[in-house]
Structure 1
Amino acid sequence: MADLLVAAGCTHAAALAHLRGPGPHFRGCWALDAVLGKGQGAPVFTEIQWYTASRPSVMLHWWGYLREPLGPRKLRLLAVACCRLRWRDLARCGLEHAVQTAEEFADDLVDLDALQRAHEATLGGMAAEDAGGDELENARQARIVVASLTAPDPQSLDGARRESARDFDDAGQAELVREILGNPFKPARIAPSWLTWQSGAIVELARAIYEKHDFVLVPRLADQLRAAGCRDSELLEHLQQNRGHVRGCWALDALLGKQ
């Protein structure tokens, strides 16, 4: 199958590698489904589609196929970032502290007991909210999302991700998926020489930006990386943006060795 696709002009490296792999392959194989128009019902997901996609659930689905399922830290930070898009709704319910606690827990800044207390406080207020409404516009729905987000069990995070990144067009959430995950077709590669440049100046700046949420300083990282010899256009272009960065940013994570 891979040889036939190459002969037909296919250049999708991930699909070709998967089809040439030892398997095991089953019905429902994402590469075969793409060729047959099953499953996703569309051609094999491409790099261009990744950068133009506006449905977060589809992007996360394909990320799992092309790379690997998201770990607990990335899942929690993505859900936190999506919640921050609806900060006013959360603030009306008094849920800001719970979301901030979940974000801090993702980076080991608070312990499991603090997360558990935030989770219990969120559940405790749920009975007082009226049912009904959609998404985070409704207070009860807001609490459901934040309850999943603060759940100590990592498996509950997938519920928070589904609630905060549903199967509909949402350009804001799609940008957050790209911000946190990067490009599934081009994993970030950091040269050791960049990290040791000028006695670790790049790592020091990246850590300060991350810990202080001072993301307006991110473009300075691009300048320092260029001075250190970096020619990775995707990494530099991402860091040149002075807006839209959140904790979990793929470029900052790569420089700081976070997963």
Structure 2
Amino acid sequence: MTEAEWLASEDIEAMFGVVRARSKRRRSRLFAVACCRAIDPALPDPRSQRAISIAELHADGSATDAELASVMLGAHEVVLARASDPAVIEAAASASEGLTRKAAGMRQWSYRMGMERAAECVAVPHPYRAAVQVGELVRSRLFHFQGPDRGAQASILRDIFGHIFRPVAFSPSWRTSVAVALAAQMYESRDFGAMPILADALQDAGCDSADVLDHCRGEGPHVRGCWVVDLVLGKE
């Protein structure tokens, strides 16, 4: 894959093929988490929500392997319960008979099951595999109605992994107290609305990297793991 293809691609598997060798587990897991949050920030079962939250904490070393395993099992229970729900079974049977309204109901149930399956995937021990599995779920027909498209996923991936063909040499002198405070606030809150302000702070500190400044001032999206925010905070 060339740099031009990387910047335009919507093929998540191909993009991961490029970054896998140099990918840190943290970034792969944060990508999977971001995809789950993009699917639906209000999953109905607390176990699914907890799986996403703990997986995100685990990526930054703030949750243990045991905690991750526990929430993975909890999220799996949600998927099993959904699959055995009488309403799901009835909707599936009706869909197989070609009844339009029931078939639509089955698609909605399938959408919900798919989201919960994604929450389970994000907590598996191997973040790369989890990210690809979540990617498959998001791009499947289950998410035809409400899920992010391939372009949105690819944009999230680029936000996390950055310019892999032209790594930015980030000067420590750009890491001023103002820049660090802005980056930390956005990271903790997951609200990246201050990215243009971060660009101003970096530029005031002497940053002359067009890649860094343009990324901060671009349309985004920006998520936890954003390569510029990571550079400012000194995260790997």
**TM bracket, shorter-chain basis:** 0.7 to 0.9
Deviation at 1:96, TM superposition (A): 2.1
Higher relative contact order (CA 8 A, sep 6+): 2
Q: For residue 51 of structure 2, what is the amino acid of its counterpart? A: A
Q: For residue 234 of structure 1, what is the amino acid of its counterpart? A: D
Which has the larger helix fraction? Answer: 2
TM-score of the aligned structures, taking structure 2 as reference length? 0.76
Which of the residues 136, 144, 150 maps onto 1:166?
A: 136
Q: For residue 57 of structure 1, what is the amino acid of its counterpart? A: E
Deviation at 1:141, TM superposition (A): 3.6
8 Å contact from structure 1 (residues 206, 256) kept in 2 = yes
Give 3-state SS (helix, strand or coil) of 1:214's partner: coil
Residue-by-residue CA offset, 1:123-164 (whole Å, 9 max, x unaligned): 222321228889x9544443433223213x3x3x23311212
User: For 2:162 and 2:179, how far apart are their aligned partners in 1?
Assistant: 20
8 Å contact from structure 2 (residues 40, 115) kept in 1 = no
Residue-by-residue CA offset, 1:80-134 (whole Å, 9 max, x unaligned): 111122116x614552232122112212333334323322211222321228889
8 Å contact from structure 2 (residues 9, 154) kept in 1 = yes
2:228 maps to which residue? 251
Q: Please say if 1:103 is aligned against 2:56.
A: yes
1:216 maps to which residue? 193
Q: Percent identity?
A: 29
User: For 2:182 and 2:80, how far apart are their aligned partners in 1?
Assistant: 45
1:114 maps to which residue? 67
Residue-by-residue CA offset, 1:35-93 (whole Å, 9 max, x unaligned): xxxxxxxxxx22111111111111111233xxx342211111000111122116x6145
Q: For residue 37 of structure 2, what is the amino acid of its counterpart? A: R
1:129 maps to which residue? 82
1:91 maps to which residue? 43
Deviation at 1:226, TM superposition (A): 0.9
User: For 1:219 and 1:97, how far apart are their aligned partners in 2?
Assistant: 31
Give 3-state SS (helix, strand or coil) of 1:166's partner: helix
Q: CA RMSD in A?
A: 2.6
| Structure-2 change in CA distance of 1:231 and 1:137 (3 Å) | farther
Give 3-state SS (helix, strand or coil) of 1:216's partner: coil
Deviation at 1:212, TM superposition (A): 2.1
User: For 1:52 and 1:105, how far apart are their aligned partners in 2?
Assistant: 31
User: For 2:187 and 2:8, how far apart are their aligned partners in 1?
Assistant: 27
Give 3-state SS (helix, strand or coil) of 1:91's partner: coil
- Dislocated runs of 4+, deviation >4 Å: 131-134
Q: For residue 207 of structure 1, what is the amino acid of its counterpart? A: A
Residue-by-residue CA offset, 1:172-199 (whole Å, 9 max, x unaligned): 101011111001111122112112x4xx
Give 3-state SS (helix, strand or coil) of 2:7's partner: helix
Q: For residue 228 of structure 1, what is the amino acid of its counterpart? A: A
Deviation at 1:214, TM superposition (A): 2.8
Give 3-state SS (helix, strand or coil) of 1:129's partner: helix
User: For 2:63 and 2:218, how far apart are their aligned partners in 1?
Assistant: 30
User: For 1:91 and 1:143, how far apart are their aligned partners in 2?
Assistant: 7
Give 3-state SS (helix, strand or coil) of 1:246's partner: coil
TM-score of the aligned structures, taking structure 1 as reference length? 0.70
1:24 maps to which residue? none
Give 3-state SS (helix, strand or coil) of 2:83's partner: coil
Mean Cα deviation higher: 142-151 or 178-187: 142-151
